Each structure stands twice: as C-alpha cells, then as structure tokens.
Amino acid sequence: MPLPTSPPTLPLDPSESDLLLTFLHERDHACPRCGYNLRNLTQPVCPECQESLFLKVGLQKLTLHWLLLALAPGTFCAIGLGFFFGMSLFRGFPPMPLEGVLTLVFLAISGTVGIWLALRNRWFLRQPTSTQITWAATLWAIHLTAFLYVAYFA
Ligand SMILES: [Zn+2]
C-alpha cells in the first residue's frame, strides 16, 4: 500500500524551494524527521515521510547553558515559595519572625526575576556571552550571599 501523500504544510516561495533543491543537488543530507537521504531531491518534501522541508540559517552552536544557569536560582526560589504557600494552605501560616518574612520577600523577588528572565529568553540569548556570564554570575552571587547570610547570621 503506498504511503499517503500530503501537500507541504507551508507553501514555499519558489526561490526558497530552488535554494533547497540546489543545496541538496549531489549532496547527501538526512531528512531531519526520518533520516532518509535527501540527495537530489526534486520537490521540497521528503519522499519517505512526506514532511515539508525548507532551507534555514542556523547557528553552528547555540549555547543555552548560561541561560539555564541564570534561571536556576530564581526557579528554585519560586518552587520553594510555592511549596511554602502550598503547605501553609493546608496547615495554616506559621508565626514568623522578621527574618522569615524577609526570606519570603527575597524568594518572591527572585522568583519574579526568574520568570521575567524566562519570558525574555530570546533577549538573553541575543546578548554577548560576556553579558550572559555576568547575568548568571551576578544572580548566583546574590543568591549565595543571601543563603550564607541566612545560614550563618540569621
Ligand atoms: Zn523524512
């Protein structure tokens, strides 16, 4: 039984399609969906899996680790704050000294910054690596300082 054929989901500009077919002329390249060799493709559709194909510009290496490192402290603070409020809803809010209130405020600010940064991830990734490192290092320094303060002085 022949495979059902489907039209490309995104109609390509003829010149874009020509670029793709020119790129694959006499060149081995695997279909990103099924791995089929697209050498000498004649239509912008994979003959094996029927997936629409297009040529795109990509980065040699997209590094996400500075973003992930910058997001980690805020994410953990937001989870901690959520856990605290979740438990407090079941067991009631505990009486709290000023240090506890300040800790909750810190967790809330950190979680908000983490959410803000996660929403602006494309902006973050457009920054030079040195700026990304500065963001991650600054956020970690603030959180480690707060942690050490709470652990030893509060
Ligand atoms: Zn394919």
Count Cα neighbours of 8 within 13 Å in the Cβ-side half-sphere.
14
Closest CA to 52 of 118, 89, 8, 95: 8
**Residue 21 CA, ligand 1 centroid: distance in Å:** 15
Closest CA to 56 of 16, 8, 14: 16
Would you say how long the chain is, in residues? 154
**Residue 33 CA, ligand 1 centroid: distance in Å:** 5
Burial of 77 (0-12, 13-18, 19+ CB in 10 A): buried
What pLDDT, on a 0 to 100 scale, did the predictor assign at position 151?
85
**Residue 48 CA, ligand 1 centroid: distance in Å:** 5
- The three-class DSSP label of residue 122 is helix
What pLDDT, on a 0 to 100 scale, did the predictor assign at position 24?
96
**Residue 127 CA, ligand 1 centroid: distance in Å:** 35
Burial of 80 (0-12, 13-18, 19+ CB in 10 A): middle
Whole-prediction pTM: 0.62
Average pLDDT over residues 91-114: 91
pLDDT at position 52 over 90: yes
**Residue 62 CA, ligand 1 centroid: distance in Å:** 24
What pLDDT, on a 0 to 100 scale, did the predictor assign at position 153?
76
**Residue 37 CA, ligand 1 centroid: distance in Å:** 8
pLDDT-based confidence at 150, cuts 50/70/90?
confident
Tell me, rounded to whole angstroms, the distance of Cα 70 from its chain centroid: 12
